[in-house]
Amino acid sequence: MGEAQVRAAELYSLASGRGKLTLGSLPVRGKISTASANAAVTDSAAAGTAMASGYKTNNGVLGMDPSRTKNLTSIAETARDRGMKVGIVTSSFLNDATPAAFYAHQPSRTDYYEIGEQLINSGFDYFAGGGISRRKGRKENLRDLYELAEEKGYRVLNTRNEILAAKPGTKIIAAAAAGALPYEMDRPAESPSLAEITKRGIEILDNPNGFFLMVEGGKMDWACHLNDAASLVHDMAAFDEAVKAALFFARRRPEETLIVVLADHETGGMSIGEGITAAELFPVLSAQKESSESFTGKVDRFRKVPQQTFEKMLPLITDSFGLHSLPERELDELRTAFAQSMLPKEQRKRDREYLRRYGPYEPLSVTATRILNRKAGITWTTFGHSGADVPVFAHGAKSAIFAGEYDNTEIAGKILSVISEASEQKNE
């Protein structure tokens, strides 16, 4: 979530009638640099570790120093050890890098089974979002992590109704999907929203000793990897609803609640150009009816049917992206991408030009969203992360210390100083 993501979401939100972003009402503004120990452009493991522990590490490493020998304590673990309750919420899967940076210590972010084991051994009170990915591991005879979690005293809940009815008292793993939660624009009614699982978390964690809750709008990053601005602005709105839920709680405890909204890095090198106004951006982006990922499901099904033609595909593109009466140049771009997308994946010639155009993604989906995004005045420079600084928004107790420009490693110390002061006041 860089500045352009915030701005695009704000323009969309205003034009849609939803109003200004709630996060924009947080009174304190800051800005953080995000480079990792070994790269100008960080990944989520290194950035999560920096924010959670206050130390830089190499890309790919979770909760350990760059030599991968020393564990780095996270602020969530410190909060737990001081008797506070702890919750971790994400729209991604629960053992993805950002949530894991708060409870895991692993040489590699892809050691999903081991990260899942550390999740259930963390003793944290509330995990909610998607599921634990690869919970049965890759080897034979590994035990299902949900079974192990139940033995450790967790209740594993899967449906929206179960999750929203959960009461304080037991530790909870609310795994509302097998992998990540759906994109907000594809979300079916039976899948809980990020705000719902955040609100439930606040109610479950609230107690006289206080709590620490980390909430990640993880699919915003995924949308930007796909250069899919429509999915982004919907997931930003969903995240903003979670901020609203936090503010609602903070208003009842203004003296003792701190809310910090920030990003681990920017994704996509997004920019808004060409003198676009909200009135111009909205009709273009709102014509997109499903995420790029969901459209890719259609492309996959289309590929399996023999004798498919671009002419038969075109109405599907129009349905999903509202792209009609395109100039020949853009039709050509789509035709070229269609030809690649109809090839079985192993037959595609992934040369430099292919990767520059489509990255690791489905050529037709990427091309359709990029054409749509261009019409909305939005361009992207990469399918990966960028080295841009990212914004910080803060509200409430001691929030003034989050103003100004600093490094992402300073976040942990600032939050710890607020926790320490609060616990001293409690002990007086």
- Residues in contact with Zn ion by the rule CB under 5 A: 221
Nearer to Zn ion, 48 or 87 (CB): 48
Nearer to Zn ion, 45 or 195 (CB): 45
CB of 267 to Zn ion, least distance (A): 5
The residue sitting closest to Zn ion, measured at its beta carbon, is 221
Torsion (CA) 384, 216, 171, 190 in degrees, nearest 10: -90
The string of DSSP letters for 178-244 reads: SSSPPPGGG--TTSPPHHHHHHHHHHHH--TT-EEEEEE-HHHHHHHHTT-HHHHHHHHHHHHHHHH
Torsion (CA) 72, 73, 74, 80 in degrees, nearest 10: 160
CB of 50 to Zn ion, least distance (A): 15
CB of 27 to Zn ion, least distance (A): 29
- Please count the CA atoms within 13 angstroms of the CA of 60 that sit on its side-chain side: 9
State the pairing for strand pair 271-272/266-267.
Answer: unpaired
Distance separating alpha carbons of residues 189 and 207, to the nearest angstrom: 31
CB of 8 to Zn ion, least distance (A): 17
Cβ contacts of 284 within 8 Å, gap of 6 or more: 322, 372, 375, 376
CB of 7 to Zn ion, least distance (A): 20
Buried b or exposed e, range 247-257, using 16+ CB within 10 angstroms: bebbeeeeeeb
Q: Do the beta carbons of residue 58 and residue 38 sit within 8 Å?
A: yes
CB of 185 to Zn ion, least distance (A): 19
Nearer to Zn ion, 221 or 410 (CB): 221
Buried b or exposed e, range 287-312, using 16+ CB within 10 angstroms: bbebbbbbbbebbeebbeeeeeebee
Nearer to Zn ion, 124 or 222 (CB): 222
Nearer to Zn ion, 43 or 186 (CB): 43
Nearer to Zn ion, 10 or 221 (CB): 221
CB of 223 to Zn ion, least distance (A): 10
Nearer to Zn ion, 196 or 221 (CB): 221
